[in-house]
Structure 1
Amino acid sequence: MLRKLSARYPTDLSAWKKLSNHFRTEMRQKTLCSLFSKSKNRKDTFSLEAGDLFLDYSKNHLNKTTIKLLCQLARQANVLEAREAMFKGEKINHTEDRSALHVALRAKIADSIAHNTSDIMEVWEVLTKIESFVNKVHDGVIIGSTGKQFTNIVNIGIGGSDLGPVMASNALKPYWKKGIHFYSVSNIDGTQFDDLKKHLDVEATLFVICSKTFTTQETMCNANKARSWVVDCLGEAAIHNHFVAVSTNDSEMNDFGIQENYRFGFWEWVGGRYSLWSSVGLSLALTIGVDAFKKLRSGGRRMDQHFYREPTERNMPILLALIGIWYNNFFGCESQAILPYTNRLNRFPAYLQQLQMESSGKNTRIDGKPVRCNTGVIIWGESGNNAQHSFMQLLHQGMRFVPVDFILPSDCDLATAHCLAQADALMNGTTNEVTEPHRIHIGNRPSNSIHFKELTPETLGQLVALYEHKVFVEGVIWGINSFDQWGVELGKKLAIKNLQHN
């Protein structure tokens, strides 16, 4: 289906050609300050709300004509039809012959998402099993081998099986259940686990192993180190009490010693970077509790409904994607900075790195032909105040043109003041206020600002789903598959060969 929808190169579309002309003849010469001077209501014109999120995209090099042409591009590239195909459960991940149904993981049964997909009803069975298990841990029904209640939750995974739980657990720290502590292990060299176990009470520690195949080298290396530690301290029989697995490989789980009711499955149509909503989120649910985990998924569903229902011109994920394409493919930008002004989101830039770069780092179209335009950009960032004292110098006065996404909860006046100051400084500069060349800030640097009242499970769910859909829309327009990652697979195979030779 998606192959048919993306049959034409985006550069051949009339809207793309009009955008090229619009960029050359009009927008390349205009400054952000001049755009604001011509429109007193520019912020109202170029902003919108979706759920609890407010997007201000007025500080971008665009006008009403730009948005009109970008929306034409989305329609000509069949974004709306591709969106429909995804929600219906069609196999839009054609290189792996799979659907991409992360939206089903946060849907309600009544939403009827992909209702014709054979295993879709299993989603709610697994989620119910997760809720029951989590509640039993918190109620002291499920306990360690010596009778101690679990207070340490250790997630063992890598990639999406690590970045998602780590990012979300850090973001939602105020929601941690009393007495529960979250930890993670991902690096293969062993030092991470060696350092961690010094701070753990083995009798009160529950390990959650996340590996779809239960053979992921980095994950199983760390899982086996943890297993040896538990056996040395508590004996072989303790494995049944202290390890939970998120996997589809029953044979390997049997060999490891995972008992039946401590196993949580998921599906081939759940990509790692989209898996937070699935049983991969078990360690998060164990940390924040069932109610907060439900609210996270509810927030994701709220953004799904906005993305599915709203027209292109008022659709936040689509607009973010179109602005990204505008800078990537017409301005020639090679990177984008993500700057959240709350330390709770300090792992969000890394989470988006994987989501966007693994999804959009492709040089081949869905039809197997080479792409003819740039696809993904380099995503990087840091919590905002730290960025101000490290790399913001380059954004203000460097020679690179780097669009910025500022992400700001409005519950801290000091952080709000700093964030708004940075956005204004990037746009306005200081050329009229100083004479010394080294003090001059040219300005004219673009940014989006995403605001919300406070960081809650619901707002985090909306924020994550917003960027998921942004990435999907970009991929549809470029004609690439946003749901495979063959570059990752190649490195794994070569590493195995190197080990065999050694």
Structure 2
Amino acid sequence: MTAAQRLTGSLAPHAQRLSSIRIAELIAADPARAGDLSLRVGPLYANFSRQRIDRDALDALLQLADACALPQAFRALFDGERVNVSEDRPALHVALRSALGAGEVARDAQAQAAQAHARMAKLVDDLAASDVTDIVNVGIGGSDLGPRLVADALKDAHSGRFRVHFLTNVDGSDAQHTLRGLDPARTAAILVSKSFGTQETLLNGRILKDWLGGGERLYAVSANVPKAEAFGVAAERVLPMWDWVGGRYSLWSAVGFAIALAIGMPRFEELLAGAAEMDAHALQAPPERNLPILHALSVVWNRNALGLSTHAVLPYDERLALLPAYLQQLVMESLGKSVTPAGQAAGVDTVPVLWGGAGTNSQHSFFQALHQGTQTVPADFIGVVNPDHAYAENHAALLSNLLAQTEALANGHSDGDPQKTYPGNRPSTLLLLDALTPASLGALIALYEHSVYAQSVLWGVNAFDQWGVELGKRIAGELLPAVRGETTEVSDPVTRELLTEISRRRSGG
């Protein structure tokens, strides 16, 4: 039986049965629900009781997890089996922070990761002993989003030794704004590209190299040391990447060099330890008490049983404002697939469109649509219990808004004026961190990584390739000579017209 057949056959009857039952009714009928549908893993607490699901539907989802052999799939991931089928390689990001994998492949990956970790620590110490005050991390996608998120989220844990800046967009204004006010004599740059052939990174890297006056303070993270050396980065300043770590899963590796420079190596190690705690839980906990699996099952339920096409991530902590952007890549690049590794149609809807923003700002933006719009949007609300500031009243207001929004979305409100009626019955999951520390952030990110993998197994797609991004890059390369004005040979008639308009505007026509 295919994944699609299992999904449609096992979930549809429960969705039909629950179609006329409200979340508030489910909670009222089951006094133990709020506690039973909650779970703690280390510094992270999750509550699923406001999902539009009952115990029978949850049992059906757990049977689906069993039919898809989710625990065995996690063991295969950790042990280094070739779970990335289309590229015939393992996906061993867990080996960067855990020693839970069995077998030679996993042990070798763990050894390589430890060696790279030691080299990175040495470079951090060398830079700390220099006169460098500012670091510019040059990368795009996973080479930017993960390090940028962590450095921003842990700004209260910064060691204060370096100011770390991120340059990603090929738009020259990004470079101009990033470098403005920096002293090239006291700045170093890290170029992060697995192939050392990423167009955006190399173009920005050339700007940095010229601005710095050469390659003396250039560092690189790449699998292609010869290309990095040819660019002007000495081999001893090139940290490794491997084909068994995808870019969006790589912040735990030397791609996290910028993180270590921002917060210090001890705190970087705490980040890895927090992720490792979630790794052990994901691998060892039974599905009914397994946080990543339960999170994945809730997403699959909302997507396939309830037919909800988007998913919001709403962190109620300004330090996590970049989390939705980070998760957009992790989730949608991993799960934005419509065929199985065998090339067959997936047969069910896969990834929801993920979006979001930081509360309470978002309440004054798009929450109107969440509460009264025609589409129901499931959401993850994320809060932090203990802040890193002394403004107790502000934090009390933040937490009260967090709790109020989840309650209002679920319960709704009736009013004699239809315009003031809230339909409610809108599902959400609440995640609470005891405090925003390197360890709790590591656990939170690892939770989402493992949830994504579980979803991929349930849908029968590959979470570790991204062929969908290649076509646009290839066409862009073919069009570059025409944009430069070196040729007029363009086959697409609309693109040809657009190039004509660009040329006309350039010449002032």
- Contact 1:406–1:419 (CA<8 Å) still a contact in 2? yes
Please name the residue that 2:170 is paired with.
188
CA apart distance, 1:69: 0.6
Correspondences of 1:98-497 after superposition (within 5 Å): 98-108=89-99, 111-117=100-106, 118-138=108-128, 140=129, 143=130, 149-231=131-213, 236=214, 239-240=215-216, 242-411=217-386, 412-431=395-414, 434-497=415-478
CA apart distance, 1:136: 2.5
Aligned-partner Cα distance in 2 for 1:188–1:255: 21
Aligned-partner Cα distance in 1 for 2:163–2:334: 31
Q: Deviations over 1:414-460 (max 9, x none)?
A: 211110010011011111xx311111111111100001111000000
Aligned-partner Cα distance in 2 for 1:398–1:436: 16
CA apart distance, 1:179: 3.8
Please name the residue that 1:35 is paired with.
26
**Tell me, what secondary structure is at the counterpart of 2:19?**
helix
Correspondences of 1:15-54 after superposition (within 5 Å): 16-24=8-16, 26-54=17-45
Aligned-partner Cα distance in 2 for 1:181–1:373: 46
Aligned-partner Cα distance in 2 for 1:281–1:18: 42
Q: Deviations over 1:349-382 (max 9, x none)?
A: 0000000000000011022111100000100000
CA apart distance, 1:497: 0.8
Q: Which moved more, 1:113-122 or 1:402-411?
A: 113-122
Aligned-partner Cα distance in 1 for 2:35–2:226: 58
Q: Deviations over 1:86-126 (max 9, x none)?
A: 11100110101110000000114xx4555335554211100
**Tell me, what secondary structure is at the counterpart of 2:86?**
coil
Aligned-partner Cα distance in 2 for 1:119–1:395: 44
Q: Deviations over 1:458-482 (max 9, x none)?
A: 0000000000000000000111000
Give, as a single letter, the amino acid of the residue that structure 1 aligns with 2:105.
Answer: N
**Amino-acid identity (%):** 38
Give, as a single letter, the amino acid of the residue that structure 2 aligns with 1:342.
Answer: D
Q: 1:68 aligns with which of 59, 71, 74?
A: 59
Aligned-partner Cα distance in 1 for 2:42–2:110: 26
Aligned-partner Cα distance in 2 for 1:366–1:53: 34
TM-score with structure 2 setting the length:
0.91
Q: 1:498 aligns with which of 450, 468, 479?
A: 479
- Contact 1:339–1:407 (CA<8 Å) still a contact in 2? yes
Q: Deviations over 1:307-344 (max 9, x none)?
A: 00100000000000001000100111110000000000
- Contact 1:9–1:478 (CA<8 Å) still a contact in 2? no
Which stretches in structure 2 are left out of the alignment for 5+ residues? 387-394, 484-509
- Contact 1:209–1:246 (CA<8 Å) still a contact in 2? yes
In the TM superposition, structure 1's runs of 4+ consecutive aligned residues that sit over 4 Å from their partners are: 117-120
CA apart distance, 1:500: 3.5
CA apart distance, 1:201: 1.4
- Contact 2:10–2:64 (CA<8 Å) still a contact in 1? no
Give, as a single letter, the amino acid of the residue that structure 2 aligns with 1:178.
Answer: G
Give, as a single letter, the amino acid of the residue that structure 1 aligns with 2:407.
Answer: D
CA apart distance, 1:151: 1.3
Give, as a single letter, the amino acid of the residue that structure 2 aligns with 1:486.
Answer: W
Aligned-partner Cα distance in 1 for 2:110–2:370: 45
**Tell me, what secondary structure is at the counterpart of 2:462?**
coil
CA apart distance, 1:253: 1.3
Please name the residue that 1:88 is paired with.
79
Aligned-partner Cα distance in 1 for 2:104–2:268: 24
- Contact 2:160–2:262 (CA<8 Å) still a contact in 1? no
> Cα RMSD (Å) of the superposition?
1.3
CA apart distance, 1:11: 2.9
Aligned-partner Cα distance in 2 for 1:386–1:493: 39
Aligned-partner Cα distance in 1 for 2:418–2:477: 55
Q: Deviations over 1:401-426 (max 9, x none)?
A: 10010000012322111100100110
Aligned-partner Cα distance in 1 for 2:43–2:437: 10
**Tell me, what secondary structure is at the counterpart of 2:144?**
helix
Q: Which moved more, 1:161-170 or 1:407-416?
A: 407-416
Aligned-partner Cα distance in 2 for 1:18–1:285: 46
Aligned-partner Cα distance in 1 for 2:326–2:18: 32
Structure 1 residues 43 and 119: CA distance shift in structure 2, 3 A: closer
Aligned-partner Cα distance in 1 for 2:198–2:187: 22
Aligned-partner Cα distance in 2 for 1:75–1:250: 44
**Tell me, what secondary structure is at the counterpart of 2:312?**
strand
Aligned-partner Cα distance in 2 for 1:254–1:403: 48
- Contact 1:155–1:183 (CA<8 Å) still a contact in 2? yes
Which stretches in structure 1 are left out of the alignment for 5+ residues? 1-7, 144-148
- Contact 1:86–1:99 (CA<8 Å) still a contact in 2? yes
**Tell me, what secondary structure is at the counterpart of 1:373?**
coil
**Tell me, what secondary structure is at the counterpart of 1:214?**
coil
- Contact 1:275–1:281 (CA<8 Å) still a contact in 2? yes
- Contact 2:92–2:109 (CA<8 Å) still a contact in 1? no
Aligned-partner Cα distance in 1 for 2:154–2:375: 34
Q: Which moved more, 1:342-351 or 1:413-422?
A: 413-422
Aligned-partner Cα distance in 1 for 2:418–2:449: 42
Q: Deviations over 1:383-415 (max 9, x none)?
A: 011110000000000001100100000123221
